[in-house]
Amino acid sequence: MIVSRIDQIMKEKNVTSRDIAQRTHLSIDTVARARNENIRKCRLYTLELIAEFLGVKTKDLYDEIPDAHIGPTP
């Protein structure tokens, strides 16, 4: 499972969704979807824009956590 860290990074940098949306020309809804802790679907381009604005690498925007339900069955 992929877990977004965008909200945490935004708080650390004192940045709002509106700030990101205005500077990246993404919609506030798009930024909100990317901020959602459980990212389901997000374009790499969107993550690149957000990462650039926040001054971090794209890979810093999320953590990958193993999902207990995924994997080979015995």
In a domain, 29, yes or no: yes
Domain span holding position 53: 2-64
How does pLDDT run along the chain (74 residues), one tens digit per residue?
778 899 999 999 999 999 999 999 999 999 988 888 666 677 889 999 999 999 999 999 988 888 765 555 55
Its pTM stands at: 0.81
Instruction: Return the H-helix or E-strand segment holding 64.
Output: strand 62-64
In a domain, 69, yes or no: no
- The pLDDT of residue 19 is 97
| Structural domain total, the chain | 1
**Do the beta carbons of residue 60 and residue 5 sit within 8 Å?**
yes
38: three-class secondary structure by DSSP = strand
Residue owning tokens 């205005």: 22
CATH number at residue 6: 1.10.260.40
In a domain, 72, yes or no: no
Handedness of CA 17, 15, 21, 57 (dihedral sign): negative
